Structures are given as C-alpha cells and as structure tokens.
C-alpha cells in the first residue's frame, strides 16, 4: 500500500489558498453570467466560512509558531492586520441578504485583498518558515489539520 504522505504546514495552508481562489473565480464567473438562480450566494457563504477557519488556524497555531521561530515581527503584525481587514469584509458579506451588485463588489474587494495577503505568505512567510531551524513543519501541519477539522465540524 502506498504510504499516505501528509502535507506539511505550508503545503496545507497553500492548498486552502488554492481552493478559495477557485471559489472566488467561480463566484466571479457566475456574477458575470448574470446568475439568474442566485447560485453565487452559496459560493459567498463557502468563501466566508473557509476563510474564517483558515485565518483562525493560522492565528492560533501557525503565526504564534513563526513568532517564536523567525525574527520577522513586522511581517506577522502586517499579516494579522490583513486578517482583521478580511474579517471585517467577511462580516459585511455574511450580513447581506442575497447576491446583488453590492455583494459582487465586496466579494471582488475581498478576493483582491486575499490575493495580496496570500502572495505575502507565499513569498515571505513560507520561505522563512521553511528555512527556520527547529521549526517542525510536519508536526505543525498535523496540528493545523486537526484544528481545521474541529472548526469545520463546529461550523457544519
């Protein structure tokens, strides 16, 4: 039997980034196509819940581990500030009654903000995490996965 290879912390988080990017693309495609059935509401809900879980596991587990292992407090402060901005947009989207032009604008704004944030994680935080001495990214990946599953179960 092939051995199951678990993702390390950076790969697990980046898989989330890719998954939510697909949801944003699908939302935009529906919005452009007119979406008479209002299907993009379900995409907006999924985008918001997936980003909420992702931000929470980063804030509870990944960022604190990085604060100890790498010397880049300003990068982590910036990342946390960007999470707060995203959470404010997510709360506004979740409070909206249904898909309309205002939701489309806000989802597009959130997509752009997340794209910027993910780029910083990929180009700055992940390389620093990968080269940090004494940071066990496999163990951290397992912790992230467990917490992610717990939060997803709570939300379901």
Residues at the site binding Fe ion, with contacts judged by CB under 5 A = 13, 58, 121
Nearer of residues 8 and 121 to Fe ion, judged by Cβ: 121
Nearest distance in Å: CB 117, Fe ion: 6
- Give me the residue whose beta carbon is nearest to Fe ion: 58
Helices of type H across the chain? 9-32, 40-57, 63-69, 73-95, 101-120, 126-131, 137-155
Q: What contacts 76, CB < 8 A, 6 or more positions away?
A: 63, 66, 67, 125
Nearest distance in Å: CB 55, Fe ion: 6
Nearer of residues 21 and 35 to Fe ion, judged by Cβ: 21
| Residue tagged 């912790």 (tokens) | 143
Nearer of residues 87 and 106 to Fe ion, judged by Cβ: 87
Let me know the angle formed at the C-alpha of 14 by 11 and 17, rounded to the nearest 5 degrees: 160
The distance from CA 140 to its chain's CA centroid, rounded to whole angstroms, is 17
**Structure tokens, 105:** 């604008």
Nearest distance in Å: CB 119, Fe ion: 10
Nearest distance in Å: CB 88, Fe ion: 15
Nearer of residues 104 and 121 to Fe ion, judged by Cβ: 121
């Amino acid at each position: 039997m092939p051995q199951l290879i678990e993702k390390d912390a950076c790969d697990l988080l980046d898989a989330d980034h890719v998954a939510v990017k697909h949801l944003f693309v699908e939302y935009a495609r529906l919005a452009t196509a007119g979406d008479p059935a209002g299907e993009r509401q379900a995409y907006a809900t999924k985008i918001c819940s997936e980003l909420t879980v992702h931000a929470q596991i980063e804030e509870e587990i990944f960022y604190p581990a990085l604060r100890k292992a790498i010397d880049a407090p300003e990068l982590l402060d910036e990342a946390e500030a960007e999470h707060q901005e995203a959470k404010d947009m997510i709360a506004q989207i979740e409070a909206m009654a249904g898909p309309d032009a205002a939701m489309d604008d806000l989802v597009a704004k959130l997509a752009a903000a997340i794209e910027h944030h993910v780029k910083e994680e990929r180009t700055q935080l992940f390389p620093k995490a990968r080269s940090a001495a004494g940071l066990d990214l496999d163990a951290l990946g397992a912790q992230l996965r467990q917490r992610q599953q717990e939060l997803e179960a709570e939300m379901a």
